[in-house]
Amino acid sequence: MSEAGSQNERNERGQHSWRSGDHILWTYTNPAHPGLYDQRPVTVIADDERHLAVWLESGTRMLHHVLADGSGIRTADGPARFGAPRAQGLKRWQGPGIVAVFQPGTDYSVWFFANPNSVRRDSFYVNLEEPFTRFEGGILTSDHVLDIVVDADGTFHLKDEDELEFAREVGMFSDEKVERIRSAADSAIEDIRAWAFPFDSDYPDFRPDPAWPMPDLPAETSWDFES
């Protein structure tokens, strides 16, 4: 199995592309906390002009943000959740593995979670974020805090609206940026109501190849706290 990006190719537009089974890094940066990452080693399921789909296996080691003393981000109250000093943490992905789908030029990704009441991955999490870009080892984006939780029957609700306001208060997002994020959420809701791709895809029934090894972070990765 290839290490992250070692077997990547370039598509007709000169962008890096990958084959099913390749290992890449799914990476979030945060402009308010430069030099820190939320980085997840994942296995490519499919990569074409329409989308990139990856598999995040339960137990995968991943980088994430923690407060400067190693505490969880959500232990901070209100705006401090975004403005307080942070450090680099390491943890393992908890719970069942997930499928994540990214579409070029789209301001959100869709994560397929296993439903406790079903054998299918028909519980959806719409993560508002910058449209992803590709680099040799994987993909890069930036989280926009606001999310949408979607049930198997298509019902949905916004998540973390209060945190979006906290991020605005500390200057992480400008007023204009918040408006663009909310507009992107409206577009995502239109796709949910239309049950457009990837909601209408076969990914709820996806099962990973049992021969796939668990990917890992690069050997040179460093962190401040481990949990």
Q: What is the pLDDT of residue 14?
A: 56
Is residue 213 classed exposed, middle or buried when 0-12, 13-18 and 19+ CB atoms within 10 A define those classes?
exposed
Segment 30-86, tens digit of pLDDT: 989 999 999 999 999 999 999 999 999 999 999 999 999 999 999 999 999 999 999
Pick the residue with more confidence: 8 or 105? 105
Q: Which of 46, 54, 60 is nearest to 24 (CA)?
A: 54
Residues 6 or more apart whose CB falls under 8 angstroms from that of 208 comprise 43, 55, 57, 97
Pick the residue with more confidence: 31 or 104? 104
Q: What is the pLDDT of residue 16?
A: 81
| β-sheet bridge partners, residue 46 | 53
Q: What is the pLDDT of residue 2?
A: 37
The pLDDT-based confidence of 5 (bands split at 50, 70, 90) is: very low
Segment 207-218, tens digit of pLDDT: 999 999 999 999
8 Å CB contact between 72 and 114: no
Q: What is the pLDDT of residue 6?
A: 44
| Cis ω before 198 (30° cut-off from 0) | yes
Q: With 60 as the cut, is the pLDDT of residue 206 above it? A: yes
CA atoms within 13 A on the CB side of 8: 23
Q: What is the pLDDT of residue 3?
A: 41
Pick the residue with more confidence: 203 or 120? 203
CATH topology of domain 9-218: FomD barrel-like fold (2.40.380)
Q: What is the mean pLDDT of the chain?
A: 93
